[in-house]
Amino acid sequence: MTYGQLARALRLLGGARTAGRAMAACPSGRGIPWHRVLGARGRILIREPHASLQRRLLESEGTQLIAGRVSLKLHQWQPAQKRTVRRGVRASR
C-alpha cells in the first residue's frame, strides 16, 4: 500500500505526508507492518539504514524489488470497500 492509499483509507487530512508522519511515530515492536507502506510507484522512501531493513523484510515475504521498486501491479494491497446499508433495506443473502 502507498502512503497516499493509507491516507485515503484512514481519511487523514494532509494526505500522504500525514500518513508518513503517523508511520514514523509508530512505536517499534508493536507488530505494525510499517515496511509494507511505500511511496508512489512502489518506491522505498525512508533513509538508510531503515531502507535496507525495509527491503530485507519485503524480500523475506516474497516481494520482488526491481531497481529499488516494488511492482504495485503484483503486490499492492487494496483494502475492502465498506458496504453501505441503507435504512429500511435488507441486504440480500
Select from 1.25.40.10, 3.20.20.10, 2.60.40.1120, 1.10.10.10 the CATH code of 3-75.
1.10.10.10
Tens digit of pLDDT at every position of the chain (93 positions): 899 988 988 898 999 999 988 888 888 777 788 889 999 899 999 889 889 999 999 999 999 899 889 998 888 887 777 666 666 655 555
Convert the chain into a string of H (helix), E (strand) and C (coil). Answer: CEHHHHHHHHCCCCHHHHHHHHHHCCCCCCCCCHHHCECHHHECCCCCCHHHHHHHHHHHCCCCEECCEECHHHHCCCCCCCCCCCCCCCCCC
